[in-house]
Structure formats: C-alpha cells, structure tokens
Structure 1
Amino acid sequence: MSNHDAVPDPLSFAKKMWGGMGFSLPNMVTPTLDVDEIEKKVKDLKAVESWLKMNLSMLQMTIQGLEMQCVTLNAVRAMGQMATSYSTGAAAAAGGDNQGTALIAGTGNEALKQAALWPLTLLQQMQEQMQKAAAAAAQASEARDDAAKP
C-alpha cells in the first residue's frame, strides 16, 4: 500500500502545533461528533455573547453620559467666564462712570443671567400652565355639578 492510499488526518497539523507547546486544547482543536455537546456549546457561547453585548451597551451608555456631563460642565464654565469677562470689560469700558457701568454691565450680565436661568424659567412656565389647567378642570367640574343639580 502506498502513502496516497492512506487517509490523512485533517487535524495532524494542529495536533503537532499544540503538542509541541506542552499543552493541548482539546475543546478548541479536536472537533466532537456528538450533536448534543455541540448544541450545548453553541447555547453557552450565545449566552456569553448576549452577556458581552449587554455589557458593551452599558459601557457605551456610560461613556455617552460622561461625555454629556463633560460638555455640560464646560458650557457652565464658559458661561461663568463670559459673565466675568462682561462685568470686568463693562467696568473698564465705562472708565469709572457709574451710570455707564450699570448700563453696559446690565445688558451683558442680564442676558447671561437669563441664559443661565432658562431651566428655572421653563419649570416656572410649566407650573403656571399646570395650575391654569387644574383651575380650568376644577371650573368645568363645578359647572357640570351645578348643571346636574335640579
């Protein structure tokens, strides 16, 4: 019989490669022919994959949250620096004239104060709208009650 008639082992190269290192990785190198074992491995690997995907999405959300926090803090810091520069610049531009300082500082600082307080203003407007809606609902309820009475 010649060497061409013998069936070559398809994993002989891998066995030689891992065998020379002093340890073997039978689960990764040597395939199994048991379908149940393969299905179990696939199920386990899919569980690990979903766990890794979940951790990746949580990591991405954390990174986005920190980036948003950094941008917000930089914006607040820049607004503070602008307010400081407006007040010192207005005082220097007036040249000691109190009336001019108040006029110039009032326009720049007032705009910055309004910009910095927009969340508070928005909340106050929302509260006013809710109070108006509640008062309108109470009046409508009283009107229905009065109409229902004989």
Structure 2
Amino acid sequence: MAEDLNDPFKLFRDMWKPLEMTGAASSGVPPMFSVEDLEKKINELKVIEGWLTVNVNMLQMSIKTMEMQKAALQTLQQAAAPADPNKR
C-alpha cells in the first residue's frame, strides 16, 4: 500500500492494464470493451489530460517569469555599469 503512494506512475500503469495483450488477444485481435468500460477509460483519460494541461500551464508560467527576471536583471546590470567616458 505504501509503495502505491510513492509510485507516481501507478495510475498510468493501471490505466493501460486492460489493454495488455494476453492469451488469445496476443494473436493480434484487439480486446473487446463494453460501453461502460470505454466511458470509464474516456473519463480517466480526460482527468489525465486536465492534469497535464495544468502542468504545462505552470511550466509556461515559470518560463515566462524567469524570462522577466532575466530581463530585469540585465537592465539593472546595464544601469549599474559605469558609463563609458569615451561615449558622448
């Protein structure tokens, strides 16, 4: 049980277990699903899609924040740099 909590990929492995090719299905015949199984799988995939979307948005926000910090730091460094006396 504790191992399940420490495994971030358990959800993904459990999600694909019904699709594993075993027995007669290993001959290339796709496994048969009921409508309820397909609805459940669709809902699980939508939850994962939402989770991934949130993570992509957070990553994009982090990148933009770091780019703004970089630009601000470069501006401060340029302002603090001694002026070149030869330029007029």
TM category, shorter: 0.5 to 0.7
Instruction: Report the Cα distance in structure 2 between the residues aligned to 1:36 and 1:28, rounded to whole angstroms.
Output: 18
Structure 1 or 2: more helix by fraction: 1
RMSD between aligned residues: 2.2
Pair member with larger Rg = 1
| In the alignment, structure 1 residue 72 sits paired with structure 2 residue 64 | no
For this pair of structures, how many residues does the alignment match?
63
Q: 1:86-97 alignment to 2 at 5 Å?
A: 86=84, 89=85
Instruction: Report the Cα distance in structure 1 between the residues aligned to 2:35 and 2:20, rounded to whole angstroms.
Output: 16
Q: 1:1-150 alignment to 2 at 5 Å?
A: 27=19, 30-81=30-81, 84-86=82-84, 89=85
Instruction: Report the Cα distance in structure 1 between the residues aligned to 2:37 and 2:55, rounded to whole angstroms.
Output: 27
Tell me the TM-score normalised to structure 1 length: 0.38
Instruction: Report the Cα distance in structure 1 between the residues aligned to 2:39 and 2:18, rounded to whole angstroms.
Output: 17
State, as a whole percentage, how many aligned pairs show the same letter.
Answer: 34
Deviation at 1:77, TM superposition (A): 0.4
Query: Where do 5+ consecutive residues of structure 1 fail to align?
Result: 1-24, 91-150
Change (3 A) 1:39 1:47: same
Query: Where do 5+ consecutive residues of structure 2 fail to align?
Result: 1-16, 22-29
1:78-107 CA distances to partner (integer Å, 9 max, x unpaired)?
1111xx125xx28xxxxxxxxxxxxxxxxx
Taking CA–CA contacts closer than 8 Å with sequence separation of 6 or more, which of the two structures ends up with the larger relative contact order?
2
SS of aligned partner of 1:85:
coil
Change (3 A) 1:28 1:71: farther
4+ residue runs of structure 1 moved beyond 4 angstroms?
A: none
Tell me the TM-score normalised to structure 2 length: 0.62
